[in-house]
Chain A
């Protein structure tokens, strides 16, 4: 495969990756959000595979395979198993800001990410030139998505999207730190287990995972 074709395919994966972030922001159903997370993880793995091929890196190949296993299969399976009822619900997730406004903010965040990344990437085609701005945009938009979601599970899915975004930039930035990336991928599974257990405990004990109804604790100034 020619290198220009590899870069082109990586750019396509990055464009689709960014699209999943926008779709996630617009999505109001938990099951659809989880499905978007899985697709995003597959695109992340695709980018890692392309880089593994171009750089002849066994480490990145391993990262891609672990990402597919952890994020496309194990994490969604664990979430469905422990919080199945929440995913079957067709109720719409409550958002603090309307979807059109959020999309405009996301476009702004993407532009910021692009301009912040530009000085760091050279003029020649490279993986970092694509993955860094897209990853940074994903990071900013996911933080925003986390802030505007008012239920525990959608908030957690935003956190997983945030993790994907950091990884998307990370695989292009730290190509020599595969050990860390493997550890971090496994750590993602631990995060999921712990947060899923916590969500289930909250649901069992309090009867809701609606974060705005968990308001026993408020900062003194807002009481």
Chain B
């Protein structure tokens, strides 16, 4: 029953955040709730490693390797975001305690919606949870209430709700197909996977297109990625870390969860569709990374690139699925680190304009080192974790006979690498701007960045057995 507590913990923290007392209570409650959720996620992961799945509420709530993998990532990022927010939001809100409490209320509800997606066993309810991830984060995107922030929140709300509405028809078609071949069957992910090969191929094809286009919008896949750089750059940095690091992967989880269903469509090139959408997303993001002027937008484009890489990897088949899932983990960790580092730069320079940030190494060696490490990590340089996952993707693509696709993917990743390193190099090196007075970073910001750097480095050198086992089980589950 412990798993049931996971979404309840941030709800409790959200309610505590509403109490009209000092914001310290909201900060402590948020951090404590996320730490407790992480502990439960770890315990669940160990249970899943042994027994394959955990089902505290049959047909309602449960977890297998795929869901617990995502839950673990969500919980880790919830902890670092809570820690980072402690000092960052206090400075952003400039002593406005009501606004700070409101932030923690919204943050906890958003985290609740994220936690719900992987543990719900019914696709229709998972769709509701996905929709909630948008609704509960809209005001976090527009938290600063600037014209640009509100514009980003608007685009985010309209486009992602539109995507979810298109996707829901796909999910309903699948449920219709399920009841057609197995009347009275529970409407769960497992039932869909088990009966897909008896459903009408026409129905599955239409459902696939609707789900891919609908949820693909929220994942940030080309051509409906346009809202992502806006929303992921305008929100406060800890929210950007959650949005870019794990929210997009949370929606991608739904597409991946349905892979056994899509694999059952006879004579339909599902994998080619995934590779095509993935490559187009990587290509568009790579070229936009060369032109970007705002360092938070740069990180958001890198998210579009990474989502494209993951979708391409899944298109390579089972070995690609393992590597793609590994990339979900490494992307989440590296991207959150990158947004935390970018938030530190923003606190020092009060601008997101790349041209206005020069000589960061002299102004703040810590922020410079963090940003440089994060840039190297997201660009896939060894020994950081993204290198290992991207290398595994290339290897799986070659083994599956996609040599030309791998070559093109490597070329586009190299272009993206150049884009990221050029922009970050300009910011980190050179002479500091004359009028720039160094500002001390809050201790929680330094702590969260240091904490986030650790797994990005460790996972590049060593894959813990638990993670390897979960990745193996999860890749088998989506490759059936």
Contacts and interface: CB of A to CB of B under 8 A. Distances in A.
Interface in A92-115: none
23 contacts: A120-B203, A139-B169, A159-B161, A159-B162, A166-B172, A170-B168, A174-B175, A175-B179, A177-B124, A180-B124, A180-B125, A187-B128, A194-B138, A195-B157, A198-B138, A201-B150, A214-B150, A214-B154, A216-B148, A217-B230, A219-B226, A219-B229, A221-B287
Contacts of B152: 217
A99 B151 CA distance: 27
Nearest to B289: A220
A136 B169 contact: yes
A156 interface: yes
Interface of B: 122, 124-125, 127-128, 131-132, 135, 138-139, 142, 145, 147-148, 150-155, 157-158, 161-162, 165-166, 168-169, 172-173, 175-176, 179, 187, 200, 202-203, 206, 226, 229-230, 234, 287-288, 291-293, 297
A33 to B, nearest CB: 16
A198 B169 contact: no
Contact of A198 (B128, B132, B147, B153): B153
Contact of B151 (A128, A156, A216): A216
A191 B161 contact: yes
A219 B152 CA distance: 12
Interface string A60-78: 0000000000000000000
B131 A205 contact: no
Contacts of A215: 151
Interface residues of A, number: 47
B169 A180 contact: no
Interchain residue pairs A-B with the least CB separation, the first 3: A180-B124, A119-B202, A220-B291
Given A146-B162, A220-B291, A205 B145 contact: yes
Contacts of B157: 194-195, 198
A183 B148 contact: no
A82 interface: no
Interface in A173-206: 173-177, 179-180, 183-184, 187, 190-191, 194-195, 197-199, 201-202, 205-206
A28 B237 CA distance: 40
A59 interface: no
Interface centre among A136, A174, A197 (most CB of B within 10 A): A174
Interface centre among A136, A159, A216 (most CB of B within 10 A): A216
A173 B124 contact: no
Interface string A134-163: 011001000100100000100110010011
Contacts of B206: 116, 120
A214 B234 CA distance: 14
Contacts of B173: 120, 173
A180 B128 contact: yes
B174 to A, nearest CB: 9
A211 interface: yes
A155 B157 CA distance: 11
- B interface: dominant SS: helix
A129 interface: no
A162 B169 contact: no
A34 interface: no
A38 interface: no
Contacts of B175: 173-174, 176-177
Nearest to A190: B135
Contacts of B147: 205-206, 214, 216
A194 B176 CA distance: 31
A220 B286 CA distance: 12
Contacts of A143: 162, 166
Interface centre among B139, B142, B151, B293 (most CB of A within 10 A): B151
A139 B166 contact: yes
Contacts of A220: 288, 291-293, 297
A201 B154 CA distance: 11
Nearest to A184: B128
Contacts of A176: 175, 179, 187
A178 to B, nearest CB: 10
Given A120-B203, A173-B169, 8 more contacts: A143-B162, A162-B166, A166-B169, A170-B169, A180-B125, A198-B139, A205-B147, A206-B147
A183 B130 CA distance: 13
Contacts of A177: 124, 172, 175, 187
Contact of B172 (A170, A205, A211, A217): A170
A187 B131 CA distance: 9
Contacts of A155: 158
Contacts of B142: 198, 201
Interface centre among B150, B175, B179 (most CB of A within 10 A): B150
A46 interface: no
A176 B397 CA distance: 42
Contacts of A174: 124, 172, 175-176, 179
Nearest to A193: B135
A100 B291 CA distance: 38
